[in-house]
A = this chain, B = another copy of it.
Amino acid sequence: MNLTEELLIDICRGAAFLGTGGGGDPYIGRQMVRQAMEYGHQVEIIDPNEVPDDALVIPTAMMGAPTVLIEKLPRGDEAICSLKRLEKHLGKKAFATMPIEIGGINSTMPLVVGAYLDLPVVDADGMGRAFPELYQETFAVYGISCTPMAISNEYGDTTLIETHDNFMAEWLARGVTIRMGGAAYIAEYSMTGAEVKRTSIHNTLTLAISIGRCLREAREQHRDPFGALFTLMPQTPYKFITEIYQGKIVDVQRTTSAGFSVGSAQIQGMERFAGLMEITFQNEHLVARVDGDVKAIVPDLICIMDSETAEPITTEALRYGQRVKVLSVSCPPIMRTPEALKSFGPQIFGIEEPFTPIEDLTKQP
């Protein structure tokens, strides 16, 4: 599939939804891909099954705090620099690149890399949403090493990291990212086509397109975009979707700390919702509580959206006074296994409550 301007807009909106508040401002990523296309470059998106088993795939992404990204814009070639650095280290050319997560700029960053380097982009990722830390990848859960990884900044400075486990990779890479100003660009989890097929969440770029298109068409046809979304999602691996809250944002606490954007938003309930919902985030939304009761919890998706237009709102864009609806979506089964929950579950974020599927939380009185 060759990317068009319309598909790009759909990807960005869909990815912002799947990013559950994180993944970085999708507008910036969209502008970067659009510029590449204006320069005459093409972006080809291929199915994971089209990748030869022995081909080298190098995923690319932005790393850091989304709050930093909107003030420290990328020069544009940082992720390309990282991919080339990793190719040089491996002594082999990449057959394709791909996203590590579906969310905001990190769905589009590989599109930029693919456009300029004339590499196809694999329609798959390692999170099925966005998560803040590098080891939170299905790639890692199912045996792929994050390292060797390369990190680059806007000066062309690069760091190549090799570690004994993926936690140390995250720890060192985050340190470098902080010193690069809080946002940097990485190439990591290099793997074979066979490994991509086995460890990735397939067809999440086309899923983002479907979600984005569904919202766009509903708006164009003056239908309820939320209704359209509620019709679409059960046809995807993210089967269950529900509205867990509606109201007005009355407070946002947000700091950029240790290379992450961390904080919480408080939403005063409206309509059938009474009380105050608090949503805690570390780049992505982690848990939504009303009066201390968990209403949705990671790794299930928690999406804050404009209550009229259904535009997904990323954490760095949350503002006092916004009227929002909060949706929760069940994550795919591959992300709910015991191994997966060790990397993605509430405990890794220091949250006391155990993971409870959104389907079960919704059933509770």
Contact = CB atoms under 8 A, between A and B. Distances in A.
Contacts of A158: 161-162
B179 A175 contact: yes
A158 B169 CA distance: 10
8 contacts: A156-B164, A157-B164, A157-B168, A159-B162, A159-B172, A159-B176, A160-B161, A172-B179
A182 to B, nearest CB: 12
A31 interface: no
Interface string A147-190: 00000000111111111100010011011101110000000000
Given A157-B163, A160-B159, A163-B157, A180 B172 contact: yes
Protomer copies: 2
B161 A159 contact: yes
Interface string A119-160: 000000000000000000000000000000000000111111
A162 B172 contact: no
A87 to B, nearest CB: 14
A171 B172 CA distance: 14
A176 B164 CA distance: 15
Contacts of A171: 179
Nearest to A88: B89
Given A155-B164, A160-B162, 10 more contacts: A157-B168, A158-B162, A159-B159, A159-B161, A160-B160, A171-B179, A172-B179, A172-B180, A175-B176, A175-B178
Top 4 A-B pairs, shortest CB-CB distance: A175-B179, A160-B160, A157-B163, A175-B175
A166 to B, nearest CB: 12
A157 B172 CA distance: 9
Nearest to A175: B179
Contacts of A164: 155-157
Nearest to A177: B175
A91 to B, nearest CB: 11
A309 to B, nearest CB: 41
A164 B155 CA distance: 7
Contacts of A162: 157-160
Contacts of A179: 171-172, 174-175
Contacts of A175: 175-176, 178-179
Contacts of A168: 155, 157
A64 to B, nearest CB: 13
A171 B159 CA distance: 12
Contacts of A176: 159, 172, 175-176
A230 to B, nearest CB: 44
A69 B180 CA distance: 26
A79 B98 CA distance: 36
A171 B171 CA distance: 17
A209 B246 CA distance: 76
Contacts of A178: 175
Nearest to A161: B159
A167 B329 CA distance: 47
